[in-house]
């Protein structure tokens, strides 16, 4: 019974976190690259049941991406449907895999450190992918070490520099990982202890022991 209650609690917590995450993606609500997505993907790999850990976060990303792309395509009139979004999905899948390497009962600081590592991983994958495939034809992204450094630090001319995006990615990854991990730790602390097992042990202790004649 307690196990079933715990599974239902995990399911509802996962759904609530996905809804909160989808709402935080509303355009202009948060600074660029300041997102709960990195931490959520990482923590989903740690805390969500295995059957939910992959399809629920990636499904939420897909649905929210479709909504955002339709908004940018038909309202802002920006070509938003690009195949390079697959690089982001590969990065999120990497965060899920990284989270699955952690024990749900791992220390709080260890989980937060993992979330920060995950944010760094996301930054490296997406920016190296942008440099390698260069979907916008940026002449600064030459296939040299210098071009890679430009992609990782300066970025595309006319836009905020890449290191500013990295700062927001790193800070939000650590912050939201800490919040999610703290919520999980508090939830575990408030769970009732399995009374059924203790009652059975008490009944066995009360039974008189037979002695040999």
Instruction: Quickly count: other Cβ atoms within 10 Å of residue 62's Cβ.
Output: 13
Closest CA to 94 of 121, 124, 58, 57: 121
Q: What is the pLDDT along the chain (213 residues), one digit of tens a residue?
A: 555 566 676 667 777 777 877 777 777 778 888 888 889 899 999 988 887 888 888 888 888 888 888 877 777 767 766 778 889 999 999 999 999 999 999 999 999 999 999 999 999 999 999 899 886 667 888 889 999 999 899 888 777 888 898 999 999 999 999 988 998 888 777 666 555 444 444 555 555 555 444
Owner of token pair 């430009």:
150
**Two structure tokens written together for 72:** 């940018």
Instruction: Quickly count: other Cβ atoms within 10 Å of residue 73's Cβ.
Output: 13
Closest CA to 177 of 39, 41, 44, 42: 39
Is the distance from CB of 44 to CB of 96 less than 8 angstroms? yes
Q: Which residues contact 37 (CB under 8 A, 6 or more apart)?
A: 21, 25, 61, 92
**Exposed e or buried b per residue across 149-160, where buried means at least 16 C-beta atoms within 10 angstroms of its C-beta:** ebbbeebeeeee
Long-range contacts of 111-114 (CB under 8 A, 24+ apart): 111/43, 111/46, 111/177, 111/181, 112/174, 112/177, 112/178, 112/181, 114/42, 114/46, 114/177
pLDDT at residue 138 in the model: 75
Rounded alpha-carbon distances, angstroms, from residue 169 to 43, 107, 131, 163, 187: 15, 23, 18, 10, 27
Domain coordinates of the chain in residue numbers? 2-190
**Two structure tokens written together for 90:** 């590969």
pLDDT at residue 202 in the model: 54
DSSP 14-81: HHHHHHHHHHHTSTTSS-TT--SHHHHHHHHHHHS-HHHHTHHHHHHHHHHHHHHHHHHHHTS-----
**Two structure tokens written together for 198:** 């203790």
Q: Which residues contact 51 (CB under 8 A, 6 or more apart)?
A: none
pLDDT at residue 25 in the model: 76
Average pLDDT taken over every residue of the chain: 81
pLDDT at residue 199 in the model: 47
CA dihedral sign, ordered 122, 127, 130, 133:
negative
């Amino acid at each position: 019974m307690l196990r079933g209650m715990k599974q239902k609690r995990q399911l509802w917590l996962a759904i609530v976190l996905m809804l909160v995450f989808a709402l935080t993606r509303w355009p202009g609500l948060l600074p660029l690259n300041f997102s709960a997505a990195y931490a959520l993907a990482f923590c989903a790999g740690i805390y969500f049941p295995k059957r939910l850990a992959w399809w629920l976060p990636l499904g939420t990303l897909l649905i929210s991406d479709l909504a955002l792309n339709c908004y940018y395509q038909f309202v802002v009139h920006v070509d938003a449907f690009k195949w390079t979004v697959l690089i982001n999905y590969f990065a999120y899948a990497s965060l899920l895999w990284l989270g699955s390497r952690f024990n749900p009962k791992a220390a709080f600081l260890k989980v937060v450190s993992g979330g920060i590592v995950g944010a760094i991983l996301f930054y490296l994958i997406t920016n190296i992918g942008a440099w390698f495939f260069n979907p916008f034809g940026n002449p600064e992204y030459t296939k040299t070490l210098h071009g890679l450094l430009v992609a990782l630090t300066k970025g595309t001319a006319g836009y905020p520099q890449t290191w500013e995006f990295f700062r927001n990615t790193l800070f939000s990854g650590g912050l939201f990982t800490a919040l999610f991990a703290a919520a999980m730790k508090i939830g575990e602390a408030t769970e009732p202890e399995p009374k059924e097992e203790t009652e059975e042990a008490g009944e066995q202790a009360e039974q008189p022991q037979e002695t040999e004649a």
